[in-house]
Amino acid sequence: MATPAYQKRPTAELAHLAWCLLVALRLAQHDGRATSALQQHLFIMRWLATAQKRKLFPRAVAPDMLWLQAQGNLYGMRANLRGKVDYIYRSSAGTLASQSDLFRFTYAIETLKNGGWEDNLVSEHEWNTAQAGGGQVAAVYTRKQALSSCFDDKQTLIRPLFLRFTGDVSSVPALFAQCALPVVQQTGERGFSVFAVPCLRHDHECLQGRGEIDDEPGDG
């Protein structure tokens, strides 16, 4: 499956939809009707079904409502609908660029997952020994250790974060750029396409600057 090109969405309508859902959920939590994770999941699913049935929102956001419902039906509580709605609100309201580096990275990965990509966190051994399969399933691979070593306690990227991909990566740079997180394509290895999220800080804590990234993806 090809990387989904990031398409402009009706941001004002999406922000309004997500805001209304989040407010309704907060009120339900306050009233004791959605205190557990299961109750919150069921509340969101019912709210979406009711809003769709009553046609409370513009047709432009109908695909988003259907997608949320499909995720909820397919994955149950694991769909993390509350988190997805929160992401939708923050990005649609134009606040994504002001979020932390880690938030924007997570948002980019969520966007890939929403487009059908597999998200794989791998160990150091798996990273150093893996070979890309011949099927070229659309997938992204991140080292578990990198998620802790590349971000500081303020969720700021302090060193380049290397990612591996299989599948069509032609739209990966544009997608990450839309998430306010540029990537630099590296030399591929063992059948994987490799991208680096560069550290853009201008102080001594950043191991690399805006220039080319020379570290080998398997290092450290």
Tokens of 126: 């798996």
Distance between CA atoms of 171 and 161, rounded to whole angstroms? 19
Instruction: Say yes or no to pLDDT of 219 above 80.
Output: no
Question: Do 77 and 125 share a domain, yes or no?
Answer: no
Residue 77: inside a domain, yes or no?
yes
Answer yes or no: do 188 and 112 share one domain: yes
Whole-number CA gyration radius for the chain: 19
* Domain that includes residue 67, residue range: 11-92
96-134 residue pLDDT tens: 778 889 988 988 887 788 667 899 999 999 999 998 877
Q: Taking a C-beta distance cutoff of 8 angstroms, is the pair 198, 105 a contact?
A: no
Q: Which run of H or E residues covers position 95?
A: none
Are 13 and 60 in contact, with CB atoms under 8 Å apart? yes
Contact 163, 194 (CB under 8 A): yes
Task: Based on the fold, state whether residues 151 and 190 are members of the same structural domain.
Answer: yes
Q: 134: burial class by Cβ within 10 Å (0-12, 13-18, 19+)?
A: exposed
Assess whether 61 and 118 both reside in one domain.
no
* % of the chain residues with pLDDT over 70: 84
Cα separation of 120 and 101, whole Å? 19
Structure tokens at 131: 């070979």
What is the residue type of 91? Answer: S
The sign of the CA dihedral 49, 50, 55, 57 is negative
H runs (alpha helix) in 130-170: 144-149
Count how many residues are written for the chain.
220
pTM of the model: 0.59
CA distance 133 to 130: 9
- The answer to whether residue 133 is domain-embedded is yes
Whether residue 95 is predicted with pLDDT greater than 60 in this model: the reply is yes
Indicate the number of domains in the chain: 2
Q: Which of 73, 92, 111 is the last residue of a domain?
A: 92
Nearest of 102, 216, 114 to residue 156 by alpha carbon: 102
18 and 88 inside one domain: yes
**pLDDT of 4:** 39
Q: Are residues 105 and 193 in the same domain?
A: yes
Does a structural domain hold residue 214?
no
Burial of 25 (0-12, 13-18, 19+ CB in 10 A): buried
| 134-192 per-position pLDDT tens digit | 767 899 999 999 988 999 999 999 999 999 999 999 889 988 887 888 999 999 999 99
How many percent of the chain have pLDDT more than 90? 50
